[in-house]
Amino acid sequence: MSNFVQSIGFLAAICTTIAFLPQAWKIYKTKSSKDISLPTWIIFSFGVFLWLIYGILIMSFPLILANIFTLLLSLFILIFKIKYNK
């Protein structure tokens, strides 16, 4: 795979992963997650987990790295959704 294509993959991985930081920070600071849909977040987290497995199976470093961090952020938000559901 060319460096250009791999760079696109890494850039996409970075963008989609850091997209969750503002939401995670807001929940952490406000201790409120009332506007987040629990079923949606469960389905999303499961999808990210499947993307991680897929990345491992095809040995795609950008997919693996991005989905490890995205899954961690997603689980953080999911845990805070359950903990601060007010």
The predicted-structure confidence for 37-63, as pLDDT tens digits, reads as follows: 899 999 999 999 999 999 999 998 888
Structure tokens at 35: 């506007």
25 burial (CB, 10 Å; 0-12 / 13-18 / 19+) is exposed
Work out how many domains the chain is built from and give that number: 1
Amino acid at 84: Y
Domain that holds residue 26: 3-83
Dist CA 24 CA 67 (whole Å): 16
For residue 8, the domain's CATH number is 1.20.1280.290
pLDDT, one tens digit per residue, over 19-44 is 888 988 888 898 888 888 899 999 99
Q: What is the mean pLDDT of residues 59-76?
A: 90
Angle value at C-alpha 10, between 38 and 15, nearest 5 degrees = 40
What confidence score (pLDDT) does residue 84 get? 83
